[in-house]
Amino acid sequence: MTQRIVVLLSGRGSNFQSLLNASLTDQLGGSIDLVISNRPGAGGLAIANSAGIDTALVDHQAYTTRDAFDADLAGVINSVSPDLIVLAGFMRILTLPFVSQFAGRLLNIHPSLLPLYPGLNTHQRALDNGDTHAGATVHYVTGELDGGPSVIQAKVPIESGDTKEQLAARILHVEHQIYPKAVNWHLTGRLALQDGVLYKDAVPLPATGEIWQDRQ
């Protein structure tokens, strides 16, 4: 049976596009069955519609509480019984009941080398701190903000004179390479979380996840 994926997004959908490209060449390990946005007019919805993928809008502005939004979001997700929920630029902090319901089936990508710089403004924070490298991390979602087990990281050197926009563009390029890889590992059974330790191919991963190398 084909593994089923739900994608959550809020914006232009560039990481979703990289996942879609991988699925079209049978490199993802499953099919994207539904794309959900919390923002009307999100570019990712247009990409999904063009590809013939079902879409749904759960507009967070229509809800007075975070719990009510998450409950309806969970209902839409459960309507397709997914094997994996992928957050691709989904700009909402999810409640603990939601995360607990889908524990082990929620992946996110964060634009920093976690545990450095959880939250927002990651690129500027790396520049302000004088770091030599920045990057991106794919991780499982837990109740701790950007604190779940890391699957894979990609490092990007910070160059002299970099602006946050220049750094963000280079990091986004590697995000598009590591996210489909992590999704494939999950859907093909190469990842396992046991007693708080994440394993890939039965080998424990370091706390920062596997370090990505080109052509890996």
Is residue 110 part of the annotated active site? The answer reads yes
Instruction: Check residue 9 and give left, alpha or beta (phi > 0: left; psi -120 to 50: alpha).
Output: beta
Q: pTM, whole model, 2 decimals? A: 0.96
Which pLDDT score is estimated for 100?
96
Q: Among positive and negative, which fits the CA dihedral 117, 123, 129, 130?
A: positive
Q: Of the residues 60, 110, 139, 186, which is catalytic?
A: 110
Which pLDDT score is estimated for 195?
82
**Residue 54 DSSP symbol:** E
How many Å apart are CA 184 and CA 169, to the nearest integer?
Answer: 24
| 216: pLDDT strictly greater than 80 | no
Non-local (6+) Cβ contacts of 148 within 8 A are 106, 108, 139, 140, 141, 142
Which pLDDT score is estimated for 194?
84
Q: What is the pLDDT of residues 156-196, one digit of tens each?
A: 999 999 999 999 999 999 999 999 999 999 999 999 988 88
How many Å apart are CA 179 and CA 173, to the nearest integer?
Answer: 11
Q: What is the pLDDT of residues 73-86, one digit of tens each?
A: 999 999 999 999 99
Which pLDDT score is estimated for 158?
96
Q: What is the pLDDT of residues 8-59, one digit of tens each?
A: 999 999 999 999 999 999 999 999 999 999 999 999 999 999 999 999 999 9
Quote the tokens at residue 177. 């390479």
| 110: pLDDT strictly greater than 80 | yes
| 206: pLDDT strictly greater than 70 | yes
CB 116 within 8 A of CB 134: no
The total of other beta-carbon atoms located within 10 Å of residue 166's CB is 14
Which pLDDT score is estimated for 214?
62
Q: What is the pLDDT of residues 146-158, one digit of tens each?
A: 999 999 999 999 9
